[in-house]
Amino acid sequence: MENKEIMTGQMLTRICEISRLKLNEKESESIKKDCNSILSYFSQIQKISQDKVSNTNHVFGSNVSDLRKDEVNSFQNVTDIRSQFAYVGPNGLMKAPKNL
Amino acid sequence: MNSYTQNALDEVKKLGAKKRVETFLAKIKEHDSQVGSFIEVYDNWALEQATKIDEKISKSIPLGIMGGLVVAVKNNVSIKGKRLTCGSKMLENYISPYNSTAIQRIIEEDGIVIGSVNLDEFCCGSDCLKSALKVTSNPLDLSRVAGGSSGGSSAAMTAGFCDLTLSEDTGGSIRCPASFCGVSGIHPTYGTVSRYGVSDMAMTFDQLGPIAADSLGNAILLDAISGFDEYDSTTFNSKKTNYVSSLNKLPDTLKIGIAKQFFVGCDNEVEKSIRKTITDLSKNNPKIVFEEFDFPLIENALPIYYLLVFSEFASAMQKFDGLRFGNKWNENDGTDLASIVSAVRSKSFGTEVKRRIILGTYITTKEHQDAWLTKALQARKLLVDEFDKIFNQYDLLVGPTMPMVAWKKGELSSDGLQMYLADVLTVPANCAGLPAGTVNVGNCPTNKMPIGFQVIGNRGSDELVLQFMSAIEKISPAYPFKPVF
């Protein structure tokens, strides 16, 4: 199998920085080699014809059951808003009510 | 002949739950140092639970679905007050603050939780050699792997350390180890069992399920844990199941598909054994029709699965920063926030976890997501649609669970790709959220290691999958293997 350099050393350094991971030199070499072999093998996915195919949102192709419906109320003033919270501290901090 | 699980249920009433727990505890104490299946054994708690069961029996109070059976639990499922390590140094000393819904239901249905069992770190592996805490060996041949990631569960079953195990399957983590250790297990339809209290690896794939000695054991545990849960919005809001009562009601007439691709790259002995089972099933059930068909898209299931798992996994691991979650940082870790988080993550995660985080981060970056993540999401949709068409023609799909038997430790290259390729037959069901079970159908003549037969059903047809697994057991009795000790 041909291993193209998809993950370069520079790219790996950047990805590690974003991922908050520090690799030593040995680890870095080995992971770079593995990533290239894995991505090279998985690049077969780019050959599938996917015109007009939507992304999968859920394996059942429908919505999940029993999500709580949003209830939107209009509030006239700050007192009404504050009254919706389970706890309002003396410093103005508010604790949101439990959903479940 | 009674099944293993039926015998266990009878024993609870005859010998008493406490006596049985004592026997299991003694066995674990004597032999688990060889197997390495348990992370923690709850001696006192298990005895307390058993005493309560015995009190119910003595007062003639009917027992719940679990009937006093003893359960070991994969250590990525929360049990209040117990360590939840996920096989990682990152969570080595983390104590669960609450019970997962599945554990709560097992306890309420009179199951006895005996301990937590090993897994590959955060479920990343197919051999249970990637746990940061211990190595789990196959009780049938200690030089071989137990499979993964639920290797501790399957090993505990085969070693006779419990009656059932509660496990979790993201891409074959129930079926691979069950196949390698000669027991059975089922990945239920996605949404059948609540994931509340389960440490997530890839939330659109993860699903809890049982590993048991036989289909009755699987049906009992699934009856106990399945059903709607207000804490997991992906669970079905359907009426309570009863897999046990329908277990022996396999329809007379079925049309079963065998994808030609299931045998590509499969070991000869595995293929022979699967084909022999199909022939035997045909002889025993003349109205069941088996038909081979072509399913080329399934060859893309492996990249679809892994690319999506990488991205979901990298996201799930972000919370482990050493500040709020995971190993706490210390003054040697650095002087600024970024250095501290990097230091904690780098020393606490194993190589496979790091590899997956890096790959997941790479494919989700703005410049690469169209080429990888979006393609994988679209291909998953194509695969799901193709499965829908196939299940318009067939009631079930069957084939091997794994293309090989349990390999020797160190035999498979550690570069990741070789390990991923071993999952080629289990991941398609997870990509489409389908129920898929494995049942043992004999062993390889050369090395005597077990071979698993996989049964895949349409979404929601878990009952039919279990019925078919039960029919296979009639021609190939479950649990024929003995551990080496």
B293 residue type, one letter: F
Domain B1-485, CATH class in plain words:
alpha beta
Residue ranges of the domains in chain B?
1-485
From chain B, pick out residues whose CB is under 8 angstroms from the CB of A10.
Answer: none
Closest partner CB to B358 (pick from A35, A58, A59): A35
d(CA B24, CA B12): 13
Question: Tell me, what's the pLDDT at B86?
Answer: 98
pTM for this entry: 0.92
Q: How does residue A47 score in pLDDT terms, banded at 50, 70 and 90?
A: confident
Q: Does residue A69 belong to the interface with chain B, where contact is any CB pair within 8 Å?
A: no
Smallest CA–CA distance, residue A20 to chain B, in Å, is: 4
- The predicted-structure confidence for B213-234, as pLDDT tens digits, reads as follows 999 999 999 999 999 999 998 8
Query: Does A22 contact B416 at a Cβ distance shorter than 8 Å?
Result: no
Determine the topology of domain A9-46 in CATH. Answer: Histone, subunit A (1.10.20)
Query: Does B355 contact A35 at a Cβ distance shorter than 8 Å?
Result: yes
Q: Is B149 a catalytic residue?
A: yes
Q: Is B173 a catalytic residue?
A: yes
- The predicted-structure confidence for B267-282, as pLDDT tens digits, reads as follows 999 999 999 999 999 9
d(CA B179, CA B162): 18
DSSP annotation of B371: I
Of B18, B74, B82, B130, the catalytic one is B74
B436, B456 contact by CB (below 8 A) = yes
Q: Is B255 a catalytic residue?
A: no
Query: Does A21 contact B355 at a Cβ distance shorter than 8 Å?
Result: no
Query: Does B302 contact A31 at a Cβ distance shorter than 8 Å?
Result: no
Closest partner CB to B379 (pick from A39, A50, A60): A50
| Closest alpha carbon within chain B to A58 | B204
Across B37-53, average pLDDT: 98
Of B37, B173, B226, B476, the catalytic one is B173
Question: Tell me, what's the pLDDT at A100?
Answer: 57
| Closest alpha carbon within chain B to A30 | B415
- The predicted-structure confidence for A55-65, as pLDDT tens digits, reads as follows 776 666 554 44
Residue B156: C-alpha distances to residues A64, B7, B67, B161, B293 (Å): 35, 18, 20, 5, 37
What is the C-alpha R_g of chain A? 25
From chain B, pick out residues whose CB is under 8 angstroms from the CB of A59.
Answer: 190, 204, 380, 384, 431-433, 459
- The predicted-structure confidence for B127-174, as pLDDT tens digits, reads as follows 999 999 999 999 999 999 999 999 999 999 999 999 999 999 999 999
Half-sphere exposure of B304 (CA within 13 A, CB side): 28
Closest partner CB to B377 (pick from A21, A27, A55): A55
Answer yes or no: is the ipTM higher than 0.90.
Answer: yes
